[in-house]
Structure 1
Amino acid sequence: MAPLTRQCLLFAVGSSLFALATMPGFPSWAGAGAANAACFVGSWFFTTAAGLQLAAADRHRRPEWYSAATQFVGTLLFNLSTGAAVWAHVVTEQRRYVWTPDATGSLAFLISGVLAMAAVIATSGLVAVRSRAWLAAALNLMGCLAFGVSATGAFIRESGVTADERLANLGTFVGALCFLAAALTSLPRSSRR
């Protein structure tokens, strides 16, 4: 399997797990513990894909390399936040450890998405809807924005209650669908058959 195909499939699996975990109705049906566990497992697929992407990135193509590096840091922060969410489900007073890596990871994703879009615009033009690279970067950036919205809703108040659980889940769900679409758009044509 080609490295790009492997990265795209790993991103797609991770995105699918995040989408499933935050799909409207799933957390109430399966329980918060199952939803948190699905996000935790999905975060590791993201980190593996981002690690492969960073390893393959050309350091001389600075925007792309910085985008991959920032994204990788963001995935590590999501590993922390989703792991803390699994733990906090069991130990309620630990919920305060969930939001900071989540918000910081969302910021890293947003920076990464802007850098990736800038790199694609430099080669494809400002609006190049027919370019798969441009479309994937735009979908990725939309996913990054949605994850940022999710982080604002996921803020943990001093009482240990999430500020807006519906906004947090909806932002993650929409972001995950955008990341899934970006991964499938980036999938090499020979792998689509």
Structure 2
Amino acid sequence: MLDAKFFRRWMSATAASVDREADRLTALDSPIGDADHGSNLRRGFAAVTAALEEEAPDAPGAVLVLAGKQLISKVGGASGPLYGTLLRRAGKTLGDAAEVDDEQFAKALRAGVDAVMALGGAAPGDKTMVDALVPAVDALGGGFASAAAAAEEGALATTPLQARKGRASYLGERSIGHQDPGATSSALLVAALVEASGE
């Protein structure tokens, strides 16, 4: 069973990973975006960590809802609302339960990914964070390590795609040959589940 401590560890591990990889995320964002993806997410997840330390919610859903709110209010551009929506919708789906099982978590994360697709209008193949998140959720039944591998593979597979959504879509064919920064940061989020669980 997964409790609030697990979800707080997940957010801390994500924050640490984003902090380590911020420069790489910004470098990926530079040719096809606003060159601020890494710095924006670093600021957002630092705020998440601070808020969780201050409030320490005792239910998994409450941890994710609080994290989502922080990202929406602290991160500029599209990534704040998208990541915030992902976590908030997942958190609301989990409700007030003190513990959740793997199946409930997978269902909640799928609800979060569906909300991201509805908000951004993106589908798999559009060269967005969805390209990492959808395969991750599909693979979650096989454990966190399987989900992390699927997300990483999905992120790498964005390189040859032409962007059809988001800032990169304005570039048309010039977006081809660049790995999507949103898919890359989404893969970091999923990989942090492995660290949080000690798998």
TM-score if structure 2 supplies the norm length? 0.38
TM-score if structure 1 supplies the norm length? 0.39
Q: Higher relative contact order at CA 8 Å, sep ≥6: structure 1 or structure 2?
A: 1
Q: Which has the higher helix share?
A: 1
